[in-house]
Structure 1
Amino acid sequence: MKTIGFLSFGHWAPSPQSGTRSAGDALLQSIDLAVAAEELGADGAYFRVHHFARQLASPFPLLAAVGAKTSRIEIGTAVIDMRYENPLYMAEDAGAADLIAGGRLQLGISRGSPEQVIDGWRYFGYVPEDGKTDADMGRQHAEIFLRMLAGEGFAEPNPRPMFPNPPGLLRLEPYSEGLRERIWWGAGSDATAVWAAKLGMNLQSSTLKNDETGEPFHVQQARQIRAYRQAWKEADHTREPRVSVSRSIFALVDDRDRAYFGNGSKEQDSVGFIDDMTRAIFGRSYAAEPDALIEQLRKDEGIAEADTLLLTVPNQLGVAYNAHVIEAILKHVAPGLGWR
């Protein structure tokens, strides 16, 4: 059995070929797709966060809106770039959105991905400490965020407050109990996956990771997940961790599917460089008739190691088509693999 959700990058373009032509379209269609996915029986609605781009950027208004319009589905991110975040303000936003959703947030955070601008976090007012990198800064922000979500008091109260205070040091409000255990780290390397395990975060592993061995993507990803689980065990955490992987998977069940994805153009891993220095491997996409797709997915070691699968969806093709993509996987593929 697997938890199955979708992951939307929220792309929009003012083009006749796009079904998502404005930022407003991207936000409102994201809400509609989450509602449709819940009705279809999907388990999660996740959204990519990317600054300075025609994509989804500020996640918490969207997460709160989805939370208010749905009742069951998990609502998350994959991922929020912590280099850009004030972790205290973020903890308040996250607590509020989680309370609105009734405790359904699953927040993926990370050091971030290649950017649209040079050092974009500087425009948000953040600069690494001397001798530290921007990645160090992102991890530092993450650690502060986790401490805030734990709900411990840390701020000295005013002796003459406007409103009465509870005794002792004050924590951030609103506080949402349990959210600390629903934070995920998007790991691009084996080392950061191990670091996330030690801090008690769940693991998100996407379709991109550092090429550390030269092996196929899914093999490297499976090794990363096993290293994470071993580190979690050694840390003696008291709960079971969760692990998600992302994939582009399309069941070709009608002529639209075959026209969009039936050319087989991305059925191999690819290798490139990010940040001009890091060799990375990009996982393949899957698109085939359901029976063939089931056999292909059986061989994916990364998916086999994970308990949660996020289906990346082509959001600019519109809500109805993306709901069809999700339904095709749930109906025609997941049962054949024992996921449903």
Structure 2
Amino acid sequence: MADGSLRKLGFLTIGLFDGADPRPGHETTLEIIKRGEDLGFDSAWVRHRHLQYGISSPVAVLAAASQRTSRIELGTAVIPLGWENPLRLAEDLATVDILSGGRLNPGVSVGPPMNYDKVKPALYPGHDEDFGYGRVERLLDFVAGKQATDFEGTQGFEVFSPRVEPHAAGLRERMWYGGGSLRSAQWAGEHGMNFLTSSVVKAEDGTDFADIQLSHIRAFRAANPTGRVSQGLVVIPTDSASQEQKSKYLAYADKRTPRTREPQGPARMLFSRDYVGSSAEIADQLHAHAAYREIDEVAFALPFSFEHDDYLQILTDIATKLGPALGWKPGS
């Protein structure tokens, strides 16, 4: 952040829905993305949830969003590749990127699927999969247009290509890796990806969240000085919130605060605090955040389980109050 100003302002939503009536929740997510564009946000990101009541197919949702918007960048934060076939995902990503006019920013991560022992019979019956970085490399190669097969040419009336089609020029440069460790940050940089850092990091050395996140950002930039870095923290401005909303937001943050005090579990995952208060207060706190001071893009995460009106209030305050307080200007 060379001059202390935020260059790109984004937001992240989980897209919750009612299992008995899922359409309204998906429609609400699309409305939120459209409202974000109308408010001037630079990017909108969707989370990814399997076998839950959140978006299970972000690529499909963003395909719909691409037809209701014209300017805002559309991202995934993140697609866990353990659930995906890299070749098929590359086809879907390229298709949506073309439909959006080159606005897609796919974020991915690796590792075994959540609850793998329980879902393996349905997901990969009868065989094992490699859930390491090689899975990302395959996806990157397919997105870049490298050879997928040695078969090409005409067979009957059908014409076959040796690469994934459609090919979306420029998409490879907009691929992101969502990481929370030094190794993942360095790997992403070494492989020419952009880097998504969120409100969860691995406490490998120390227990100060901002310092740990800063070390990841610097490790990434040492490997890829020109790559983009986006920070995703839970930020809840209260400038136009009702007293009832303020009480709800503070209670939400208070309930989540204990997990921020020390690393959690064998993996020593450390969670960031949630930022709740006026835009001026939050801006001061972010300017004091060691990692925030070295980025110029954010994708502030909307909290789980709030009401639609709450999200509209939070987004409006971020765009009209907090963003300007951080030096952001629409279209900058």
Shorter-chain TM range is 0.7 to 0.9
User: 1:120 is paired with a residue of what secondary structure?
Assistant: helix
Alignment of 1:137-286 (within 5 A): 137-157=131-151, 160-163=154-157, 165=159, 170-233=162-225, 240-253=226-239, 254-255=241-242, 256-263=244-251, 265=254, 266=256, 269-274=260-265, 277-286=266-275
Q: Check conservation: 1:155, 1:171, Cα contact below 8 A.
A: yes
Partner of 1:11: 16
Stretch of structure 1 that moved more, 100-109 or 263-272? 263-272
Deviation at 1:165, TM superposition (A): 4.0
1:114–1:155: structure 2 CA closer, same or farther, 3 Å change rule? closer
Stretch of structure 1 that moved more, 57-66 or 169-178? 169-178
Deviation at 1:128, TM superposition (A): 4.5
1:142–1:119: structure 2 CA closer, same or farther, 3 Å change rule? farther
The count of aligned residue pairs is: 318
The 2-side partners of 1:195 and 1:218 are apart by 20
Deviation at 1:306, TM superposition (A): 2.0
1:29–1:307: structure 2 CA closer, same or farther, 3 Å change rule? same
User: 2:107 is paired with a residue of what secondary structure?
Assistant: strand
Q: Check conservation: 1:91, 1:145, Cα contact below 8 A.
A: yes
User: 2:117 is paired with a residue of what secondary structure?
Assistant: coil
TM-score (norm 1): 0.86
The 1-side partners of 2:237 and 2:46 are apart by 22
Q: Check conservation: 1:128, 1:137, Cα contact below 8 A.
A: no
Residue type of the partner of 1:229?
R
Residue type of the partner of 2:149?
A
Q: Check conservation: 1:29, 1:319, Cα contact below 8 A.
A: yes
Deviation at 1:162, TM superposition (A): 3.5
Runs (4+) of structure 1 moved beyond 4 Å? 126-129
Partner of 2:286: 297
Deviation at 1:122, TM superposition (A): 5.5
Instruction: Structure 1: give runs of 5+ residues left out of the alignment.
Output: 15-20, 130-135, 234-239
1:252–1:154: structure 2 CA closer, same or farther, 3 Å change rule? closer
Percent identical: 30
Deviation at 1:177, TM superposition (A): 0.6
Stretch of structure 1 that moved more, 185-194 or 153-162? 153-162
Residue type of the partner of 1:271?
E
Deviation at 1:114, TM superposition (A): 7.5
User: 1:317 is paired with a residue of what secondary structure?
Assistant: coil
Structure 2 residue 100 is matched with structure 1 residue 101 = yes
Q: Check conservation: 1:52, 1:117, Cα contact below 8 A.
A: no
1:119–1:213: structure 2 CA closer, same or farther, 3 Å change rule? farther
Q: Check conservation: 2:235, 2:300, Cα contact below 8 A.
A: yes
Stretch of structure 1 that moved more, 258-267 or 279-288? 258-267
Deviation at 1:44, TM superposition (A): 1.0
The 1-side partners of 2:13 and 2:111 are apart by 16
Deviation at 1:200, TM superposition (A): 0.5
User: 1:176 is paired with a residue of what secondary structure?
Assistant: coil
The 2-side partners of 1:334 and 1:319 are apart by 21
Cα offsets for 1:253-279 (capped at 9, x unmatched) = 2324312213561567243435xx311
Structure 2 residue 60 is matched with structure 1 residue 68 = no
User: 1:203 is paired with a residue of what secondary structure?
Assistant: strand
Instruction: Structure 2: give runs of 5+ residues left out of the alignment.
Output: 1-5
Q: Check conservation: 1:37, 1:45, Cα contact below 8 A.
A: yes
Cα offsets for 1:107-126 (capped at 9, x unmatched) = 11002588256363553228
1:118–1:53: structure 2 CA closer, same or farther, 3 Å change rule? farther
The 1-side partners of 2:275 and 2:149 are apart by 51
The 1-side partners of 2:115 and 2:52 are apart by 7
TM-score (norm 2): 0.88
Q: Check conservation: 2:80, 2:113, Cα contact below 8 A.
A: no
